[in-house]
Amino acid sequence: MTATVCGAATLTITPPVIFDCSNGLATATLTWSGATGPVEITVGQPNGTALTGFASPSGSTITGNWVIDGMTFYLVDQAGLTEASAVAQVSCGGTPRTIDQGLSNGSYFPLAVGNTWVYKYNDRSVTASYLIQAITGTQTAGSMTYFVLTQTSPAQTTTMLLRGDDNGVIWQSTSSGDQVYLDPNAPGTQQVGYAGPLGSFSNAVMPPAQVMASLNRVTSIFVRGIGLVNQQSNLMEGSSGGFNSGFDLVDVRVDGVHLSVPAPKLSLAIEATDLDLTHQLAPNCAVPCYFVACGLVVGTDPPNTYRPCAQARIDSFASQPGYTVLLQLLSPAGTSLFQSSAAAGLDYIRIPLYIPTTGNGFTLLPPGDYTLSATLRAAGATLAFSNLTVHIQ
C-alpha cells in the first residue's frame, strides 16, 4: 500500500498484500521517494520507534519478521513532520495466485514477453546440453502482432514468430504465410499425461507426429499453462534408425510462475550497497535508554549515539538435510569482520558497520569496498556461494 501525506513524498510497502507469513507475522520491504530532505521511518505513530536512522530522500529498507496486519509506517522529516505513511496488509490465511489456477486456465503455449523455458538436451553426439527458449519481444507482420520466440543453444540462435487466437490455436508466421504451430483440438491430438524432471502433469496434449524431410519423426508434448515440455526425434529407417535427439523441460518462468528442478540455491541481498556513514545516512541501530538509570543498563547507548548497521537478506535451499549457511562481512583486505549463521530458507541478519572496542565502545568502519559473502555447505562440501561488494563512505 502507498500513501502520500504532504508534498510529493511516497512510502510504499511491498508486496502490497503479504501472503508469505506465519502466526500473523511477516517481513516487508519499504521504499520511499520524493522527500524534502533527510527522513526516517517510524513504526506505529509519527514519533514511534524508529526503523531507520535519518536517510536520503529516496531509499528502501527491509523489516524483520514482525510486521502485522494494519501496522502503520511513517516517513518523518527532521522536524518531526510526516511526509508519507503506509499501512501493511498481512493475510497469512489468504489465497494468492496458485500454480493450479494458472495451469487450469492457461494456454498450451503461454505467449508473453519474458516467458522462458530451459530444456536439457541429448542427441547422438551431445549429452546433457541445454536449450533456452524465451519470448524476447513482439514484432508486427502485416496486420498481426507476433511474439518473438528466441531459441539459444551452444551451436546457434534461431527465432520464430508466434501468435495465439481466441480458440487456443498457436500460429507461426512463415514466408508462405501463417501456419498452425499448435492446435490442441486438432484431429489426432491426444490428451496425455506427462511425467518429467519438473513433476507429473495430467493436462497435456500430444499433437500428431511430424515427419520431416530428413525422415525424422518428431513428437511433442505441451502442458496447459506451461508450454512445450518434451520433444523427441527418431530416424524412421535404415541401419542408423532410432533415437536422434530429444529434450525435457527442467526450468520454466511463465506469467510469474517459476518451476525448476530441485537444486541448491543461494541468493544474497542487502538494503543498500552504498552506505554513507560519514553523513550518518545508513540505518542507526543504537539501543537508546528511556529511563534515568541508563548508565546501569548493559547494552544501551547514550543519547545521540550513531551505531550504523545494514540488513542482509539470505534465501537458501538444499535438498540435503542439515545444510548450513555462513554469512560474513570481509574487509577490503579480506579479513572477516563479522560472521553469523543464517537460518535455512529465508532469513534476515543485521550487519554491524562498526568494530567493537573495549566495553560498549566501537569505531565505525573506515571507507572502502567491503565484501558481503554467503556460503551454503552440506556434509563438508560447498554447494553454493554468493558475494556482494558493499561500498562504505
State the Cα torsion 187-191-195-199 to the nearest 10°: 120
The residue among 98 and 51 whose pLDDT is bigger is 51
- In this prediction, residues 7-33 reach a mean pLDDT of 80
- pLDDT tens for 256-278 read 777 887 778 888 999 889 999 99
- In this prediction, residues 59-72 reach a mean pLDDT of 86
Please tell me the predicted confidence (pLDDT) of residue 299. 65
Residue 374 has pLDDT above 50, yes or no: yes
User: Under the phi-then-psi rule, with left for phi > 0, alpha for psi from -120 to 50, and beta for the rest, what region is 5?
Assistant: alpha
Q: Say how far residue 277 (Cα) sits from the centre of its chain.
A: 29
Dihedral sign from CA coordinates of 97, 103, 104, 105 = positive
- pLDDT tens for 218-229 read 999 999 999 999
- In this prediction, residues 162-179 reach a mean pLDDT of 92
pTM of the model: 0.52
3-state SS assignment for residue 145: strand
The residue among 161 and 15 whose pLDDT is bigger is 161
Domains, the chain: 1-95 (2.60.40), 99-260 (2.40.360.20), 262-393 (2.60.40.2550)
Please tell me the predicted confidence (pLDDT) of residue 2. 43
Please tell me the predicted confidence (pLDDT) of residue 94. 53
Please tell me the predicted confidence (pLDDT) of residue 6. 45
3-state SS assignment for residue 284: strand
**Average pLDDT in the chain:** 86
Task: Categorize the per-residue pLDDT at 105 as very low, low, confident or very high, splitting at 50, 70 and 90.
Answer: low
Please tell me the predicted confidence (pLDDT) of residue 294. 56
Q: Can you tell me the distance from the alpha carbon of 294 to that of 292, in angstroms, rounded to the nearest whole number?
A: 6
- Per the omega criterion (within 30 degrees of 0), is the bond before 15 cis? yes
CA dist 358 to 95, 344, 363, Å?
51, 33, 10
Please tell me the predicted confidence (pLDDT) of residue 101. 43
Q: Can you tell me the distance from the alpha carbon of 344 to that of 316, in angstroms, rounded to the nearest whole number?
A: 6
